[in-house]
């Protein structure tokens, strides 16, 4: 069955989703779920969006749990698969201006109500300002620098989602991107909200579940995954690697 119009459409048949829009060269991954399903997509019109893998959220110097750092092997593998397939890699991270004059009171309050330093305020132990562009806390973790390339788009974000007030949508549309693979932290916050906004803007979405983590309680994660089912497919870095090997 075909969903969409003559240029922008999916074809869904017997547990297989084709979102390639008629591309000559496609890749296929397996989807996670109760039923065995597959997804074909156009790698040249796809992007891997890595969210918030920054020192602030991942570093043990700030007492962060090890869950985020445990994602590194899967994300490194996914980046390698994306490069092999020709999928664009996009890094989306908090990176505020020093004056934080584009941040509303609601966000500033929410950030500080737990007693932690607010956005733009000094971190303990001379670790610099909180999530200000160019600061230590806003930097990509060292463990992922080996797979970062200077030609990769880097998007500074100012909200939980990667879209409001940023260049993300413009970068994706300028490169003809239609399908997004998502990774990073936290699954139920910045990753989920980015997926929701992407879906509202018309992008296809795939959550690479082994490339995401959260510090929230299990029931929160379970609810978030449930809410994302209508906005995103779910797969893994392993399936993406298998697709890359088949397309070499």
Q: How far is C-alpha 222 from the geometric centre of its chain's CA atoms? A: 18
Place of tokens 């899967």: 74
Of the candidates 75, 57, 74, the one whose C-alpha atom is nearest the C-alpha of residue 66 is: 57
CA–CA separation, 90 and 226 (whole Å): 25
Domain-embedded: residue 205: yes
Query: Binning pLDDT at 50, 70 and 90, where does residue 35 land?
Result: confident
pLDDT above 70: residue 47:
yes
Least confident interval from 109-113, 154-158, 180-184, 211-215 = 109-113
From edge to edge, which strands make up the β-sheet containing 46-51?
154-157, 88-94, 46-51, 179-185, 204-213, 233-235
Domain that holds residue 226: 42-95+138-237
CA–CA separation, 51 and 194 (whole Å): 9
Domain-embedded: residue 152: yes
Domain-embedded: residue 118: no
Domain-embedded: residue 80: yes
Contact assessment for residue 77 and residue 146, using Cβ atoms and an 8 Å cutoff: no
CA–CA separation, 213 and 21 (whole Å): 31
Angle, in degrees to the nearest 10, between helices 72-85 and 237-246: 30
Domain-embedded: residue 29: no
Mean model confidence pLDDT for the chain: 95
Contact assessment for residue 95 and residue 51, using Cβ atoms and an 8 Å cutoff: no
Strand pairing report for 37-41 and 27-31 = antiparallel
* pLDDT tens sequence across 54-91: 999 999 999 898 889 999 999 999 999 999 999 999 99
Q: What is the tally of structural domains in the chain?
A: 1
* pLDDT tens sequence across 224-238: 999 999 999 999 999
Q: Which residues pair with 9 in a beta bridge?
A: 4
The SS3 call for residue 90 is strand
pLDDT above 70: residue 248:
no
Domain-embedded: residue 3: no
Q: Two tokens at 8?
A: 């922008």
Domain-embedded: residue 13: no
Q: What's the CATH code of the domain at 214?
A: 3.40.50.850
Q: Two tokens at 48?
A: 């891997």
* pLDDT tens sequence across 166-193: 999 999 999 999 999 999 999 999 999 9
CA–CA separation, 217 and 199 (whole Å): 25
Residues labelled as active-site residues: 52, 157, 190
* pLDDT tens sequence across 7-32: 999 999 999 999 999 999 999 999 99
Domain-embedded: residue 4: no
Name the DSSP letter for residue 43: G
């Amino acid at each position: 069955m075909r969903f969409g119009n003559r240029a922008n459409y999916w074809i869904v048949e017997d547990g297989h989703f084709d979102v390639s829009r008629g591309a000559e060269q496609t890749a296929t991954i397996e989807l996670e779920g109760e039923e065995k399903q597959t997804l074909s997509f156009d790698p040249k019109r796809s992007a891997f969006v890595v969210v918030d893998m920054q020192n602030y959220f991942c570093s043990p110097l700030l007492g962060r749990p090890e869950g985020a750092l445990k994602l590194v092997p899967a994300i490194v593998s996914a980046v390698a698969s994306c490069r092999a397939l020709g999928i664009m890699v996009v890094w989306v991270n908090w990176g505020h201006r020093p004056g934080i004059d584009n941040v509303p009171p609601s966000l500033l309050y929410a950030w500080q109500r737990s007693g932690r330093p607010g956005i733009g305020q000094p971190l303990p132990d001379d670790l610099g300002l909180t999530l200000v562009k160019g600061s230590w806390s806003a930097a990509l973790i060292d463990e992922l620098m080996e797979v970062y390339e200077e030609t990769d788009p880097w998007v500074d974000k100012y909200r939980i989602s990667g879209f409001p007030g940023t260049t993300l949508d413009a970068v994706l549309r300028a490169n003809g991107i239609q399908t997004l693979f998502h990774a990073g932290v936290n699954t139920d916050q910045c990753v989920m909200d980015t997926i929701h906004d992407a879906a509202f803007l018309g992008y296809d979405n795939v959550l690479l579940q082994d490339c995401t983590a959260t510090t929230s309680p299990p029931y929160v994660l379970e609810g978030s995954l449930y809410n994302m089912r209508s906005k995103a497919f779910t797969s893994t870095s392993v399936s993406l690697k298998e697709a890359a090997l088949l397309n070499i």
